[in-house]
Structure 1
């Protein structure tokens, strides 16, 4: 298959990417995003608060993209939607980090992967479209996997912490729905900028309320971790997915990026000495299978070949690309893969998976 030219960068410039290179980028994006577990646990153990950890996670993206906030008449409303979605995104990640502090990492990661079920609910509430029966069944299977992973001991000992962990996929599902159904006019970098700024601004009051030693890294190692969480778990995986997903389509994007959950399990086992339990492995497997078999549908007017539909991925990164991908006007329309979306795709009503936002 020939290389295909896509607008895949923050600057909007087109670039040629081969399918094999795109697949490698997607795998790398999933592995990079999975490192959030290591960074979050390490930073909280170093004394930073959960709010500060998430603050640093979005800081790099805001610094790089903040000047691209779109406030023109045509884009102001969409920017506002993205900003509000970012507020929810930041608060959801605070819940995730608080849970990482207190619960086994594999359990928190498995709970987080239930976000497609909440995406389906939020999309129905926002758009009013009735979800397909297969999508509902997929969402039910996702929740079943979470119930399998959260055993009676976890629910009994740290029930309120489990609720904190659930808050992350709930708010993230809302973000997916908003970005898919309400943000259409923005360029990729404008969407990233507005969403990241919303998360960043929403975290400022929480960070200001913390003592300085819970916000400012105390040594060089902690500073490196704080910088790393912004670059390696947010900006880098998002951009790698934006480059790779349009070239290979949703099926391969889902398979490659879904390595994130097993990678979190491996990181927890090797670096944090927290091997997943059989229940967590079983629940994670059920969730991944549910997302992988969830129905996808091509966007209206999309002419890509069968199996090359929009990148509604099984991973957290999957929907990152949906509002961020724009097909180059100079793309080779005879090339095999034509899975990039227009600037303002409307999410199909029967999607279960997807993830916008950094």
Structure 2
């Protein structure tokens, strides 16, 4: 009598160590679970990347490992077949968070190691989250750990932990919708991505496509509405560099610093400020002032405020001051207060 094969879930995550060497994978995390999300194994394949570590991030990533720790580990070519035995199992659903990045790295690692590329289908938990929660920009695994209440046992950028968190996220999305995996695939119009012949086709999600189209239409209507509002006398407008505009739009930057003048001194808590993006395609953004602080200099504002809230996460005082004096020549700061407008982005 033939044994009935049951579906399994395999969550994967890759970490690379050299931004100049494609396919410099040094860690592959894998978590295999049964159809009920009971974990069968959780492991991290440490790999000798055969190159140095060279990563330049504004915010350094602590991988908990150094190049010397990997010298006696197998190469990617040596573990390729073992990885394939799990990835290419026909009864296994492969997933990754922001899957396109991992699939790209898998292919580049195979090319670099001169081994046969993998062939399997996969889903992206970030796209599934976006569709289920009706949000456009997805969510990072560090925030997933907070949302799911799993921060104590989670270390971001540890490949096995990232894999496990992506698995939990899929489980959470199924529980939130009350659907089985097959029902969710049908309900959200999901077509799994595919790895084939050294390239890949990304996962598609019809429901997410509809969401993005709705958001485009809403954003266009909102722009037209705000364009009419800014023509009214007395409306406060401020021009912004594209980077700072995008940070406010994403709600990462919640404080705007300006030198005081008659117009800015007249702004009160509860008033609206219309920000204009300095670009070839100007955009408008409306924000409400929730509170106002005053400082005697840009330096004292930097010392007192959260650096991320003013748009300078992980930036030192020198770089911050250079940018401020690029916007406002140093002589203009003399004898004038720095006004910090705390903001809440409007959605209508």
The answer to whether TM tops 0.5 is no
Q: Which has the larger radius of gyration?
A: 2
TM-score for the superposition, normalised by structure 2: 0.23
TM-score for the superposition, normalised by structure 1: 0.23
The structure with higher relative contact order (CA 8 Å, sep 6+) is 1
